[in-house]
Amino acid sequence: MKDTHKHQGLRNQLVTTINEKGIIDKNVLNAIAAVPRHLFMDSGFVDFAYQDKAFPIAAEQTISQPYTVAFQTELLQVKPNDKVLEIGTGSGYQTAVLLEIGIRVYTIERQKELFKKTKLFLPKLNYKPKKIIFGDGYKGLPEEAPFDGIIVTAGAPFVPKPLLAQLKIGGRLVIPVGDEVQTMTLFVRTGEKDFEKHEFGNFRFVPMLKERN
Ligand code: SAH
């Protein structure tokens, strides 16, 4: 598991690319510059790790495109020490980006194989989420609620009510909503029963699925 000057150089170029695409949050750009994305991909894909593209990982899932990870993280508007729930651990790349910012991360994955792999892998790079859970993201994580932010990294056919209910007042849910194509959607909890909704363009994610396997 090597991270070299060459990799750092490629990451700096990637940061320039996503900055040119509109990401300006310094915390987010610094995190993308720091996380060794090539180590989150199977060895065959190492050469592609610093292109701004999604790639296949295990179990027919994907590691999200760096721009998408940056976009969602920027929308969360979280700061060091905030408490964030991630739905869809996958490779752990988005988890690592949140951890670089100094966030306390709770993350849920429904695919057993990926869950096991990523749970072992992240600590090897010294990335330590508060909890990595094998479970169903539609339910959120009521025992740890409320959260400053919740980020969903799979395409959601609808907005799960438990996720809205598990936000602090002032907390933010970032979720791609839709079937074939998803609209990036931000909910801000403005009161006990009040939410603002904002929509931001189209993205494509692997679908958020119901049953665990
Ligand atoms: N954040 C990941 C993106 C992985 S793709 C990364 O940076 O690599 C989306 C992930 O969501 C997949 O791993 C998929 O198995 C998971 N997923 C799908 N439905 C889910 C659900 N209901 N609960 C939790 N995770 C789910």
CATH class of 5-203: alpha beta
5 CA from centroid of ligand 1 (Å): 31
Going by alpha carbons, the residue nearest to atom 16 of ligand 1 is: 88
* The predicted structure's pLDDT at residue 212: 63
Write down the pLDDT at residue 180.
Answer: 92
- Binding site membership of 118 for ligand 1 (Cβ less than 6 Å): no
Q: Report pLDDT for 46.
A: 77
User: Which tokens hold the place of 164?
Assistant: 């809205």
Mean pLDDT of 77-95: 96
pLDDT of residue 87: 98
Over residues 1-30, the pLDDT tens digits come to 689 999 999 999 999 999 999 999 999 999
Select which of 61, 64, 68, 182 is catalytic: 64
pLDDT at 168 over 80: yes
Alpha helices of the chain — where are they, by DSSP H? 5-20, 26-34, 66-76, 93-100, 112-124, 161-165
Beta carbon of 166 within 6 Å of any ligand 1 atom: no
93-109 confidence digits (pLDDT tens): 999 999 999 999 999 99
Q: How far is CA 52 from CA 8, 117, 188, 194, 200, in A?
A: 15, 24, 28, 36, 19
**Radius of gyration of the chain from Cα atoms?**
16
Each residue's pLDDT tens digit, 113-164: 999 999 999 999 999 999 999 999 999 999 999 999 999 999 999 999 999 9
- Rounded distance between C-alpha atoms, residue 64 and residue 57, angstroms: 10
Average pLDDT, the chain: 94
Does residue 64 carry a catalytic annotation? yes
pLDDT of 47 > 80? The answer is no
Compute the 3-state secondary structure of the chain and give helix, strand, coil in percent, each to the nearest 5: 35, 25, 35
Q: Ligand 1 mean position to 58 CA, how many Å?
A: 11
